[in-house]
Amino acid sequence: MKSRAEREVALDKLLRFGYDNPMQQTHRFSLGTNAVYGAVIFDFDGVILDTERYHLAAWNAAAARFSLSFSEEEYLPLKSTGRPYIASVLEKKAGRKFSESERRTLFEEKQAYFEEGIKSLGEGDLIAGAVDFLRFLQRENIPAAVASSGTLCTVLAKRFGLDGYFSFILGPRDDLAKKPAPDCFLAAAKRLGFAPADCLVAEDSEAGLAAAHAAGMDAIAIGKARGDCVLRTPDFTKVLPLFCRK
């Protein structure tokens, strides 16, 4: 695997190709025979499947019992931070602490509303270009994994026939600190057998981008998330040609 210095030389070389790409970015890079990164670690909700709107709707439905809700802008920095943290934000909105019973009911109702909502998910909810990118990684023998706080990532990956693209899926059952802590990405890199600096992260949340940065990994920001990244783009449709660049 290339050292970071060698990767920086490769990045500079790619910049000199003058490859015209309209996406906001600070670097250009490639995968494959001249690999800059050895593995890719994906978040799932909002990166592979457009499920975040169902999470937001479920939180708002569950929080309605407290006469509370989140706007889309309010929810954006809360993505991937985990249920306890989101509950603490609701408590601040309410101006009081919830009892253990209230928290348990909040989490149970949120999960139930989410599971009901995603029953309507279809092929059109796959993030544009994501499957093509996964196929490319598989074809080039570049390992991919998922590190997510989503409770149903494994279920949804199997439902859409995506589980075969991932070496493994890390989730809440792995009992790792929630993002923005870097634990899930560091654990994924270790399990993949790569140094953190040799892994690239695909994220749609601000907490996820912060976690990747804390882990010493470069990241692609999918969607509206603000944070440190080497590439910011709405989806994967223009990513694949960039990664295939030799």
The CA distance from 90 to 241, in Å, is 42
Q: Which pLDDT score is estimated for 146?
A: 97
The CA distance from 143 to 31, in Å, is 11
Domains and CATH numbers, the chain: 4-50+126-244 (3.40.50.1000), 52-120 (1.10.150)
Backbone angles phi, psi at 71, to 5 degrees: -80, 165
Residue type, 133: F
Residue type, 100: E
Is the full-model pTM beyond 0.85? no
The pLDDT profile of the chain, 246 residues, written as one tens digit per residue, is 545 555 444 444 333 332 233 333 334 345 444 557 889 999 999 999 999 899 999 999 999 999 999 999 899 888 888 889 999 999 999 999 999 999 999 999 999 999 999 999 999 999 999 999 999 999 988 999 999 988 889 999 999 999 999 999 998 888 889 899 999 999 999 999 999 999 999 999 999 999 999 999 999 999 888 888 988 899 998 887 776 544
> Could you tell me the strand order of the sheet in which 144-147 lies?
24-25, 231-233, 218-222, 199-203, 39-42, 144-147, 169-170
Residue type, 115: E
